[in-house]
Amino acid sequence: MDTNLHTIRVENHQLAYLAFNTQDPRPPLILLHGLTSSVGFWHKGEPYTQFGPCYALSLPGHYPAVAPASFQQEMLSAKALGGIVVAAIEQIVPDKPVTLVGHSAGGMVGLAAATQAPTKINHLITIAGFAQGHLTGPMGRLVRLAQWERVGWLLWPLFFLHRLHPALSQWAFRAYATDRQTVTRDPSFAAAFASAYTYLKKLQPGSVWPYFQMMPQVDLVYRLPRIAAATLVISGDKDPIVPPTQSEIIASRVPNSQLVMMPGVGHLPMMERPQQYNQIISTWLNES
């Protein structure tokens, strides 16, 4: 087990987080992964560890987090997820404001959290995030499938298939990218994927299925003007999972925001354009 891994309890949830660079006295960064991903997605916390201590926090129900037995029946919502994340942050770093970073669904949850904790979250970064649950591509198809209760069991074989061999999951993971050749060539990709897969292979479909079911109800647009945090919105203009228009909506509604649209990039800008991505993050965090 990773010695950096810690667990906490929030309401009826057991959440988990990986801690990096914790001796740094600067304000911390909280990293939220996307749907069906894991805390290992943020391999070693890079490039964020150069700006302070980092805590890669699990979304509820995503292993090594453990959801309550009633999770499938609970009313899951963006607001509820945001509240859980805020409560978790208060436990992890009770005495400091934070920068919250979210990828994909983690970006959506980050937006919801920022509307609820304006003094705790003073900087926000969304990467391929969304304010409305209008997903496309393979994720969009799963969302549509989840609306039909009688065929929900079809998700189970998909999860067990990726457990047969890491290469199957790696192939599916690359499908989120538009520039797949760059992702494959990036030397950090294999290490990052191995880190994520450590936890991803134990993900339970019953714990993430409620996320797919709730997606059509996600709509944070009217709440976005409440966000007081300085906000960086990053999107690839060829994202096959989250329409780039979602980032445009976020940037147009959050008062103190900056939009960076990366040309020729899909759902994984940190792997498709690692140098450009790191520069964007570094410049914004240094100047904000």
Q: What is the CATH number of the domain that holds 272?
A: 3.40.50.1820
Distance CA 229, CA 38 (A): 25
User: Quick one: pLDDT at residue 156?
Assistant: 61
User: Quick one: pLDDT at residue 171?
Assistant: 75
H helix or E strand, kind and range, residue 188: helix 187-200
Strands 257-262 and 121-127, bridge-based pairing = unpaired
User: Quick one: pLDDT at residue 3?
Assistant: 63
Kindly tell me if the per-residue pLDDT of 164 is higher than 80. no
Distance CA 35, CA 208 (A): 8
Closest to 104 (Cα-Cα) out of 281, 268, 273, 272: 268
List Cα–Cα distances, 110 to 7, 63, 161, 162, 179, in angstroms. 20, 19, 30, 28, 26
H helix or E strand, kind and range, residue 7: strand 5-10
Instruction: Tell me the pLDDT tens digit for each residue of 212-261.
Output: 889 999 999 999 999 999 999 999 999 999 999 999 999 999 999 999 99
Distance CA 286, CA 140 (A): 36
Q: Would you report the helix, strand and coil content of the chain in percent, each value rounded to 5? A: 50, 20, 35
Residue with tokens 């020729």: 264
Instruction: Tell me the pLDDT tens digit for each residue of 139-148.
Output: 888 888 888 7
pLDDT winner (highest mean) among 39-48, 68-77, 139-148, 245-254: 245-254
Distance CA 245, CA 234 (A): 11
Distance CA 101, CA 288 (A): 14
pLDDT winner (highest mean) among 73-77, 122-126, 167-171: 122-126
Count H helices, E strands: the chain?
11, 8
Range of the domain at 19: 5-287
- Quick one: pLDDT band at residue 209, thresholds 50, 70, 90? confident
Instruction: Tell me the pLDDT tens digit for each residue of 270-286.
Output: 999 999 999 999 999 99
User: Quick one: pLDDT at residue 109?
Assistant: 98
- Quick one: pLDDT band at residue 149, thresholds 50, 70, 90? low
User: Quick one: pLDDT at residue 224?
Assistant: 98
Beta bridge partners of 126: 102, 233
Q: How many domains does one find in the chain?
A: 1
- Residue 181, C-beta contacts closer than 8 angstroms, at least 6 positions apart: none
- Quick one: pLDDT band at residue 1, thresholds 50, 70, 90? very low
Angle of CA points 279, 33, 96, to nearest 5°: 75
